[in-house]
Amino acid sequence: MCNHAAIFRVANDAISVMTEPAYFFETLKDNIKSANRRIVLASLYLGTGPLEKELVELIYNSIQASKKANEPSGLQVEILLEYTRGSRGKVNSRTMLLPLLQEFSDSVRVSLYHSPELRGLIKRLLPERFNETVALTHLKVYLTDDTVIMSGANLSNDYFTNRQDRYIEIKNSPEVADFFHELVSSVSDISLQLHKDDTTHMLKDFAFHPSESNKTEFITKATERLKTLVHSCSGKKAIRFLGDKPGTWVVPLLQMYPYSIRQDEYVTSELLGSLPEDSKLLLASGYFNLTKKYIDLLLHSAASCHILTAHPTANGFYMAKGIAGGIPDAYTQIAREFFRRTLTHHHRITIWEYARQHWTFHVKGLWYYPPNHALPCLTLIGSPNFGYRSVYRDLEAQVAIVTEDKDLQARLHEEQKCFYARGCRVTYRTFEHAERRVPVWVYVVTKFIKKFL
């Protein structure tokens, strides 16, 4: 990791592990209420229901209170969302945030990332929802003052109620918070800026439009802007490593393949490729579609590997209308193909499917247990699903948390147990059930769209 990313030491008790979406929502609200200097949020989108409106009202009230207090710098708010998903429908993420811009334009910045891949004929022909499959920002960062919540959850009702995800809060850690603030700001700089009349424009000092400017020129200039962040943090290694107490370190990992930033891919590959005998790896992905490289590394590993993914009924697209309704079947097909490849490794590689009535499964990340250890010393948490989209298409960020602290290790252990306890092991009989038979059209289409899932 030291060769690829910045490393920050944090206090052992700075890390809080949450397992319930309702608690995540309450913590996020409390953090917004108590924010004094900055609120920085990055998500795929912001929903439009009552809970999301409550979140916007809290931000509004916090800014208003800051202005009444006449604080020198005042509370500043930055929000980064995906252009396509955030613009879907007449009532959308953009319209939800307009009151903030209309009332506090000097304190609020809303940016909408637009992939340079979505342009021309493809942009004109692809309808809403399907245009999101091309490429997007998948970042999830929830930052207030010097506290950051890393998660795979978006800002919408399901993620606050009955869609299972992960949520780890890193409290009172200014260096980590500054890094992620710079990350969100850097991506915002190459994104469309939302104005109070619901129009969008690029920044004056970045006069390259993602879908209207020359594609190569946009990517070149955007890469320069984003790599400035990576280079500026390259020297932030071994910060405050000295001390006799067991330590905890946070390692931010970025994956922005279109802009030649591949930290997460490199670190994940090195981890999967160096698992020793008698070690254990637990890997979760709500949308299980590992890249060929990751699959090969797992198959050639000496470690025990236990994979947790969504049962079709816990897939976010279960019972969706139209073509999207076939997506759970597509993931069944992908899981079946992977399962067949693991048959000769069944003694050390297992697959589990999470099922919970009226809940969906969106957990992603991994836990690593060293040889003959009962507790994990490392976890990865953030937005990547370890699939083709995460590695090659979307903008992703997660953190590796490495700890020697037994209490934190125990809490991470309990976290994974909470998820795996609802898992059912996949066997060859799993795919023989009538409801698991993949329609012919899904089987055929999956081969063509696999790298977009």
Annotated active-site residue 140? The verdict is yes
- DSSP string covering 147-158: EEEEES--BSHH
Residue in the block written with tokens 């809303």: 110
- DSSP string covering 33-63: HH-SSEEEEE-S-B--SHHHHHHHHHHHHHH
Determine whether 372 is exposed, middle or buried from the number of CB atoms within 10 Å of its CB (0-12, 13-18, 19+).
exposed
Select which of 67, 90, 123, 138 is catalytic: 138
Select which of 53, 67, 106, 140 is catalytic: 140
Give the distance from CA 192 to its chain's centroid. 21
Give the distance from CA 389 to its chain's centroid. 12
Cα–Cα distance, 338 to 450 (Å, whole number) = 13
DSSP bridge pairs for 149: 142, 169
Select which of 145, 158, 165, 329 is catalytic: 145
Residue ranges with strand state E in 408-451: 423-425
Cα–Cα distance, 426 to 338 (Å, whole number) = 11
Three-state secondary structure along 101-122? HHHCCCCEEEEEECCCCCCHHH
Determine which helix (DSSP H) or strand (DSSP E) holds 379, and give its type and residue range.
strand 378-382
For 193, the 3-state DSSP assignment is strand
- The answer to whether the CB of 45 falls within 8 A of the CB of 155 is yes
| Nearest alpha carbon to residue 264 among 385, 140, 142, 152 | 385
Annotated active-site residue 138? The verdict is yes
β-pair type (280-285, 364-369): antiparallel
CB contact burial 318-356 (16+ within 10 A = b; e otherwise): eeeeeeeebbbbbbbbbbbebbeebeeeeebbbbbbbee
* Catalytic residue set: 138, 140, 145
